[in-house]
Chains A and B, each alone.
Chain A
């Protein structure tokens, strides 16, 4: 049976037969759209998103450089030589995207148009006569569907993946004798070639054992080695830092050197400064 809609394949892929994952976009699948982005200019801050549902979002901690740190929410287990020591909270409800941080002008938010719960949404930010382009997903009326149901909507920017690669950090060997705690930190800088810091996606950062949370049950014995990772992006580079702490009470504990290579996907969405 034939299918209807539109799809654009990446170079080298047959648009008629290629898999969905090889499409640049397809009306079969929903995309992401940015509703708004900004900086929380108060320790307790609300952005009234006007959507009537709880939107998806992303966040960063920003310093004065400005450098944007991907982990905005969790202090590391140890974080030796980490460049950021401030953390906060971001959440959404049906009215606001809310930021909480002990220091103002640190939390950066990206508020998506898309509902976090995957639903169709309740309202569009501004219902009025308008010009532009909208393309709906399969099953959604392009004339009456909510903005959050659109695949493409010229009123909103969609994240495009403009650069994808991996950054390799050579993590040094570490060793601690009984009664000693040893710390070390290694990092690698990757020149991204943009004129500013853009929104970056790094799922490897959070799904690896390299991300140790200070509030997690550690299950650590008297002798342990823990690694923490800090990732930041500024106007010229992406920095991946791996810090380690080795602590020994009874027996020498050591770990060999290894390489850590998280993958990243840099988007076209400029981060607020």
Chain B
């Protein structure tokens, strides 16, 4: 069930109605049922995997809390191994089987949707219990909802138990009009980014990256530029819809994006992009390895480990590993040369960061390392003229008008988000005069209804 589908637009108000009409004591169970239905709309049988992990982690949490010493460690390791084992089997086994010289059979496995997200969310829980930061959850239904809560179950944000579990325990007694308004604003803005911008840009990006040999430098540059915004709008759009949907139930999810392309350094970028994942790696990998308190050499090593894992988390493909390591290298070089101390206009720094990050998106998007190297080698090849642009557009079936619309939407996005400054666009909308605000709502809705390309493009992060 995609967020931008009629199915979801019927599902959400129905669940909302039942939620707020039912007694508080039933709401956890109701949300759990709804979340199961949501997940089973993809591939039903995979919910059994989630149920198994939920039982393991629920039991492990209690076991950890009741144990001491080695038994406590064993319980933690057992739970982590269960989660990582499942993740490895479904996501990485075939990669290693085909890359290691061990004659391992290739299995026909389908990656359960959202597995990477909820295993990480589950591991966050057992680690926090182990560290004594949160008490073990004693209510199986509440814990199950923590893992399965439908707005964020499939593609994050990767929540922390300290944020979600207390909210599930103290379900808000009644619907708040202000929360509904905020929630709907997030959903509307998320749908706009996904449907008007991301799905439009994919129409250019996909043909270029699917068959790079048919394209030239200008097409690669344009496709890479577009992909930078496609992935941002797609993923942040999803996150906004998730945050907005949760808000309608009085649940506050963590912010996942904070205008990342406004970053003036790479370290700033990683505090603004996919915040829930980068903070997860910071708290559970980087800091345990020593973090910023260790020597510079060890910090570099830790960063490499973090970004290698981060790359691999995205997918079992060498391209993701290269993407991750490149980003790690950027951070290490930035730390080494003290990039932030170099005086330059903020706009220049932001542009440089954007360009370097966009370069790494080539590896993220390409279907193989071979394709990515092909594109990199020819990024600036050929002519960069009106005629070659015209040829590039023709090859993907675009007109100049379509290019103009895509660029206009990107400019609109950048202006809106920079105008929003410290707040995000949904929250900034609240500051507009009422008439202008409702005019903006109507405008966004009408644009989505009338000018969204009607293509079925799953959210990019569903594949992770």
Chain B binds chain A: no
* Chain A residues in the interface with B (C-beta under 8 A): none
* Chain B residues in the interface with A (C-beta under 8 A): none
